[in-house]
Amino acid sequence: MSATEADLDFTLAGFAGHVGSDPDCIVMMPPIIMPMHLAIDATPCLVRPRSGAPVFLKIYAPDMLPFIDLDAAVAAATRAGQCGIGPAVIAHDADRSAVLFDFLAPDAWRMASRADLETIAVRSAIFAAKRAWHRSGLLGRTRSPFEVIRAYRERINSLAERTPSASTLPLAFHTLADWTERIERGIAAAGIDLAPLHGENALSNVMLGPANEVRLVDFDQAANGDPLYDVGAFCLEFCSFDDEIEAAVELYLGHSDQRAVARAKLYMIVDDFLWGCWALLAHATSPRATTVEFYKYAQNRLLRGTYWLGVWDADSLLRRA
């Protein structure tokens, strides 16, 4: 559900001190979940004040707010802007569930594409941005992907109890639920080094500028956790074979590390399950479920998660990780 004209007027009124009265406001794109996760959590708007530079307005969709801690998201985005890792936050309005950012002008910036990742210089620049974020200092919230998955599963089970049609879950869900619990126990036993995670590692959340300059966007799920989670989750965007994953981990770390490769692979499975659970919940709860392909997205993520289990010896990965 993109913001209506009335929603835009209401939201813009809250930022009048920054954009003035009666600015031009254009919704930049509709929500697209397949093949990319784009403009799902919020309506992206270009705002052109009567005087001054254009700005970017992000208006969170009401059906996505249960998945987002807005205060934590704004704090992380603010940090990223201050570090030069993301666009600067100008202002936010909790009552209107909206955030105003510096605008990355399209004559200089564009969303990264799969073709861009064929170039090692681009891959290096993206992993450098992720690494810089991981080294920027801990956030106020620590939350592992396993905690997120547990919360999602609890909500899924609650829905199933109330709604019989929601009680039949894909077989892949149960397979991945069992494996995710095993992966959590294995990684907990080995221990992790905490770092601030990006948390939303879709390629659509990477902006490329001049000379392969990178800005990361969408810190809505940012929290402290294992930085290799971001590495593994981003590998899902462009890695199909083991050698590609190994090269990606080496690019991030600066050296080869088979333990880190094993952990990144396990996190690829976990990330697919996490977003599959998210999409199942969105399908069951969002009024947009008839227009946004949440269920198809869930099935794709769950199917890919089980694919990895078929390709890899997950027990061996756990021993190495």
Two tokens, residue 190? 């080995």
pLDDT given at position 83: 96
Residue pLDDT, tens place only, 239-274: 999 999 999 999 999 999 999 999 999 999 999 999
**Coil, helix or strand at residue 1:** coil
**Cβ within 8 Å of residue 211, ≥6 positions away:** none
Residue pLDDT, tens place only, 134-159: 999 999 999 999 999 999 999 999 98
Edge to edge, the sheet with strand 110-111 lists 110-111, 206-208, 214-216
Residue pLDDT, tens place only, 90-125: 999 999 999 999 999 999 999 999 999 999 999 999
Residue pLDDT, tens place only, 157-198: 998 777 665 667 889 999 999 999 999 999 999 999 999 999
CATH of domain 5-102: 3.30.200.20
Judge: domain 110-320, CATH 3.40.50.300.
no
Instruction: Provide the strand spans (E) within the chain.
Output: 24-27, 42-48, 55-60, 89-93, 98-102, 110-111, 195-196, 206-208, 214-216, 224-225
Two tokens, residue 28? 């930049």
**Coil, helix or strand at residue 23:** coil
Dihedral angle at the C-alpha atoms of 166, 1, 88, 252, nearest 10 degrees?
Answer: 40
pLDDT given at position 6: 80
pLDDT given at position 166: 60
The CA-CA-CA angle for residues 42, 28, 52, to 5°, reads 105
**Coil, helix or strand at residue 161:** helix
Given 3-state DSSP classes, what are the helix, strand and coil percentages for the chain, each rounded to the nearest 5? 55, 15, 35
**Cβ within 8 Å of residue 159, ≥6 positions away:** 166, 281, 284, 285
pLDDT given at position 128: 98
Amino acid (1-letter code) at residue 218: D
pLDDT higher than threshold 70 for residue 210: yes
Span 214-239, average pLDDT: 98
The CA-CA-CA angle for residues 184, 185, 191, to 5°, reads 85
Q: Where in the chain is the domain with CATH 3.30.200.20?
A: 5-102
Round to whole Å and give the CA distance between 249 and 244: 9
Question: For tokens 């996505």, what's the residue?
Answer: 64
Round to whole Å and give the CA distance between 48 and 261: 45
At 65, give phi and psi (nearest 5°).
Answer: -60, -35
Q: Where in the chain is the domain with CATH 3.90.1200.10?
A: 110-320
The CA-CA-CA angle for residues 137, 148, 317, to 5°, reads 85
